[in-house]
Chain A
Amino acid sequence: MATAAPAPKVNHIGLPILDYRGGKSTLCAGCGHNAISERIIDALYEMGVEPERVMKMSGIGCSSKSPAYFLSRSHSFNGVHGRMPAIATGAILANHTMTTIGVSGDGDTASIGMGQFVHLMRRNLPMIYIIEDNGVYGLTKGQFSATADLGSRLKTGVVNDLPAIDTCALAIQLGATFVGRSFSGDKKQLLSMLKAALAHKGTVMLDVISPCVTFNDHEGSTKSYKFMQENDEPINEIGFVASFDEIAVDYDSGEIFEVEMHDGSNLRLRKLHEKYDPTDKANAVRTLMEAHENNEILTGVFYINTTKPTFIDQLNLVNEPLGTLPESLTRPPKSALDTLMNALK
């Protein structure tokens, strides 16, 4: 008597994790970006997001290649250097019903792309913007980027003498509504953060320290695995309970900052720093600035605001995607033209 093969494990919309995978990575073995791709796959799988309902956006650089390595069943747009925000903005305006994940790098965001990055943050467009942050330009062989810390040293011995741009502090100041920092090596924290990000409505900006094993993983680097393992200072511990999850989590309510997300999920941030309130914008920025003074690398969810209207809300768009509205809704009738013409006679 034949025994049926055990059915593959599926998520709550009935898809196996295989349906979330992408092409084989061409990045270096051990690259932090690959770990981030894995966590993105896990998060989308666990959240039960339909792959066809996701848009993957990226700019140029090692990080920006990575959308090819997850979610093959999603449309993807690998644009031009530093300009992913504009393309993503246009795509979201055309179809605001999608889940949009943008992957950028520190060069792609904090140097060439700074002009577009800051304006994306201001608009609070519903998307997840991930910076795979390694402090160097990989594809051009290891020049410093603008997120490299002051005093950080290249393999060649060159020391960075300019201050780092803190993309999280910027994003908070400018209007992003979910801002956090994580480390590609911290599976649990990154996965929870990504799942919460998927439940959020508005701009999520995640700066994920992602060591470059080829150009920035040596002694003297502040973006190496070793440095992060030794200096990663979580500000809170992230627990995420999806709306469809019924698992009860034990926690001491006094220690927890609880956030109800748009889709009914719960984000539970256990306070590791004294009295850290992630809804206090000014305090969030001050905490980040103080961490720089103390040479600390803070991680965790720094800021969250679930009430601010998104850009789509402000535009008051129809529920359907603009891109596929029928002609009957987009071309005014002849009577409208006649009226306009008569007024010009």
Chain B
Amino acid sequence: MATGDPALGDVQGATNTRQRVTNDFSINVATVNGSGSQSANSVLLKSIFGMGVPVSGKNLFPSNIAGQPTWFLIRASKDGYVARKRDSEILVALNPETAQDDVQALPPGGVAIYEENLKLDQARGNVIFYPVPFDKLTAAICPEVKLRKLVKNMVYVGVVAQLLAIDMAVVESNLRRQFAKKQKVFDLNFGGVKTGFDYAQANLTKRDPFFIEKMNKTAGKIIIDGNAACGMGAVFAGVTVVAWYPITPSTSVIESTTDLLKKLRVTPEGNATFAVIQSEDELAAIGMVLGAGWAGARAMTSTSGPGMSLMAEFCGLGYYAEIPGVIINVQRTGPSTGMPTRTQQADLLSAAFLSHGDTRHPILLPGSVKECFELTQAAFDLAERMQTPVFLLTDLDLGMNNWMSEPFDYPAKPLDRGKVLTAEDLERLGGFVRYRDVDGDAIGWRTLPGTRHPKASYFTRGSGHTDTAQYTENPVEYQAVMDRLTRKFENMRKLVPAPVVVRNGSSKIGFLAFGSTDCALTECLDQIKQRYAKDVDYLRIRAFPFAQAIHDFVASHERIYVVEQNRDAQLASLLKLDLPAAQVTKLRSILHYNGMPVDAESITQQFALQEGL
């Protein structure tokens, strides 16, 4: 598969074959889905990690169970860049269907390791070919035909390890971890690795310049995907009710949440301190979240674009009736069904205003797996403090791919359960008014069902209501509530996670971005510096509504490039609604929306074009 942007042409990536290239290249493993290549890919990735070399993996998989092409991209980067590299220098061609195209997509000087009977060496020039009789080698060591396609993947790991000089001891220890308690499985798999290694050693002459050398840049780091990090965040945020409907690419958020809840949240007596419910659809999932939030639970759901669309009516109810809830949206490529296994950041606008009427929602935007963990927790606190549904938007790239990270920190602050009155409070106060702003923060106090006090109850409704929660069609009473909701939303600018100043020097030009775009954009800053001797500032947005610091950043620059992974410049549009008129014209857009995770080169090229560099 041409993993580069065809639109931008095959212009870069030329590798000087005479110069040694160490710890700075990308490997593309082309297989068929359902062939069990994931374990092998994971072992290779973790072996590079184990060599102390920063590494990232991207699984480009089809929306299909078995038999369709899959590519796994492994990037080793001594500089710590973890974004997708537009071109992969090394191809492992195990899928006959795509092998020809895959080979054509290699940059000049690239490497193709392939099943020898595919005869790829006739396909093109300027590529170093390593034919390997994978099928024969596998058959020799694996009598069981059923297991061969799995073992074959391990043979490729051995070949790659030998060619790149990856320490076999590191490979072995990773394999041992992967198959922790299954000695027989380990033996079979390691046998595959060794066979590949030995074959390469005996039969292939190293002609390419690519090497993995030991570094110490991964010590103490972890590897995790964003969905698992979100699940972990939810568990350490004390989630009690989880309602969900399966959807790619968010399903593993709930799977990891559920696994952890079963491990960590069962009492010594064997009872659960949580409820996980697979609902009939996303409408029900969000309804359950709101019902649970209303009754005091820390409740969440996780979905993707189509599911979020279904949640629209309920989210308006949550906003207007002021009920906490957390909605994680692992964005995929839209519109409609779109490309379910490809990534995008195109649900920002619909999340911000999801539902009819004057509705708006706070959105948290993690830019790393660590922030997936931290901001999921922040979402629960914000939801209960502000009594409103809170969205956490990640994407398939962040959510389903493996990322290197600093280990996560244990939360420093206790849970913020928001403004809830107990029976004792009511006794002392003599009562309460549900939607009255008694503290000047635009947030009313609430009570939970079951509070044993005659004045505890109130009537929750999505119809027009007064501050006493009574039904109304009175224009003054209706508007008073709406205006307080506006104040409440405005106050959130100070409460949501602040933007991260990546660089704010003396440049006249600034970048604004959010989420997974960050990894490409930080690399892009270095590219711009190297190629054009220019420093560009960059502020990473982590939440809507926008903090004042975002307004200040725009105000202090002449030109702002808003970089995002959607067609319609959704972040720029939201900013334009928020910024003073004089600032709006400063905004320009760099957009990437073909379903592939954005890469630094694409941003740099668009930037250079717009700047006339």
Which A residues have a C-beta under 8 Å from some C-beta of B? 19, 50-53, 55, 57, 67-68, 72-80, 83, 85-95, 97-98, 115-116, 118-119, 315-319, 321-325, 327, 329-332, 334, 336-338, 340-341, 344-345
Q: How far is the CB of A171 from chain B (nearest CB, A)?
A: 16
B8 at interface, CB cutoff 8 A: no
| Nearest-CB residue, chain A, relative to B469 | A76
B265 adjacent to A323 (CB under 8 Å): no
25 contacts between A and B (CB under 8 A): A50-B452, A68-B459, A68-B471, A73-B456, A75-B456, A79-B287, A83-B284, A83-B313, A86-B288, A88-B291, A90-B243, A90-B293, A90-B294, A91-B294, A93-B277, A93-B297, A94-B294, A94-B296, A95-B450, A98-B295, A323-B295, A340-B260, A341-B222, A345-B222, A345-B407
CB atoms of B280 and A52 under 8 A apart: no
Which of chain A's residues has its CB closest to B177's CB? Answer: A343
Among B294, B313, B414, B471, the most chain A Cβ lie within 10 Å of the Cβ of B294
Chain B residues lying within 8 Å of A332, measured Cβ to Cβ, are: 235-236, 264-265
* Shortest Cβ distance from B455 into A: residue: A73
> B460 near A75 (CB under 8 angstroms)?
yes
Contact partner of A317 (CB less than 8 A), chosen from B272, B291, B462, is B272
B35 touches A (CB below 8 Å): no
State A47–B564 Cα separation when bound (angstroms). Answer: 61
Contact A321 B296 (CB under 8 A): yes
- Asked if B589 is an interface residue, CB under 8 A from chain A, the answer is no
* Distance of A304 from chain B, by nearest CB (Å): 25
Q: Contacts A83-B287, A90-B287 given; 9 further ones with Cβ under 8 A?
A: A51-B454, A52-B456, A55-B295, A75-B460, A86-B285, A89-B284, A91-B449, A98-B449, A337-B232
Residue from A74, A86, A329 whose CB has the most chain B CB atoms within 10 Å: A86
Say if the beta carbon of B274 comes within 8 Å of chain A.
yes
Question: Is B122 an interface position by the 8 A CB rule?
Answer: no
- The interface on chain B, measured as residues whose beta carbon lies within 8 A of the other chain's beta carbons, has a size of 71
Q: Which of A86, A91, A336 contacts B295 (CB 8 A)?
A: A91
Q: Which residues of B contact A (CB under 8 A)?
A: 220-224, 232, 235-241, 243, 260, 264-265, 267, 270-275, 277, 279-281, 283-299, 313-314, 317, 407-408, 410-411, 414-415, 447-454, 456-463, 471
Measured CB to CB, the closest approach of chain B to A123, in angstroms, equals: 8
Least CB distance from A79 to B in Å reads 7
Known contacts A52-B450, A331-B237: does B280 contact A93 (CB below 8 Å)?
Answer: no
- Taking the closest CB of chain A, its distance from the CB of B55, in whole angstroms, is 14
- A83→B414 CA distance, assembly (Å): 34
List residues of chain B with CB within 8 A of the CB of A53: 450, 452
Check if B270 sits within 8 Å of A316, measured CB to CB.
Answer: yes
Cα–Cα distance between A77 and B460 once the two chains are bound (Å) = 5
Question: Are B457 and A94 in contact (CB-based, < 8 A)?
Answer: no
Which of A77, A97, A317 is within 8 Å of B450, CB to CB? A97
Quick one: given A52-B456, A322-B274, A337-B410, are A93 and B449 in contact (CB under 8 Å)?
no
CB proximity of B262 to chain A, nearest CB, Å: 11
CB-CB nearest in chain B for A93? B275
B293-A318 in contact (CB<8A):
no
Interface of A is mostly: helix
Taking CB atoms, residues of chain B closer than 8 Å to A72 are: 457
Q: Which residues of A contact B283 (CB under 8 A)?
A: 83, 86, 115-116
Residue pair B241, A94 in contact (C-beta under 8 Å): yes
Residues of B near A55 (CB, < 8 A) are: 295, 449-450
Q: Which A residues are CB-close (under 8 A) to B289?
A: 90
Task: Report A-chain residues with C-beta under 8 Å of the C-beta of B285.
Answer: 86
Closest chain-A Cβ to B405's Cβ sits at a distance in Å of: 9
| Contact in complex: B415, A331 (CB < 8 Å) | yes
Q: Which of A93, A337, A341 contacts B241 (CB 8 A)?
A: A93
Q: Which of B222, B237, B297, B457 contacts A74 (CB 8 A)?
A: B457
Q: A52-B452, A68-B471, A330-B238 are in contact. Are A77 and B273 (CB under 8 A)?
A: no
Rounded to whole Å, the gap between the CB of A55 and the closest CB of chain B is 5
Question: How far in angstroms is the closest Cβ of chain A from B23?
Answer: 20
Indicate if the CB atoms of B240 and A94 lie closer than 8 Å: yes
Q: Nearest-CB distance from A73 to chain B (Å)?
A: 5
B295 adjacent to A90 (CB under 8 Å): yes
**In the assembled complex, which residues on chain B have CB atoms less than 8 Å from the CB atom of A68?**
459, 471
Q: Is the CB of A86 within 8 A of B265?
A: no
Chain A contacts for B314, CB-based, 8 A: 80, 83
Residues in chain A near residue B290, CB distance under 8 A = 79, 87, 90
B459 touches A93 (CB 8 A): no
> Does the CB pair B287–A87 fall under 8 Å?
yes
Per the bound structure, the CA–CA distance linking A318 and B266 in Å amounts to: 9
Q: Are A315 and B294 in contact (CB under 8 A)?
A: no
Indicate if the CB atoms of B240 and A323 lie closer than 8 Å. Answer: yes
The reply to whether B317 and A115 form a contact with Cβ atoms under 8 Å apart is no
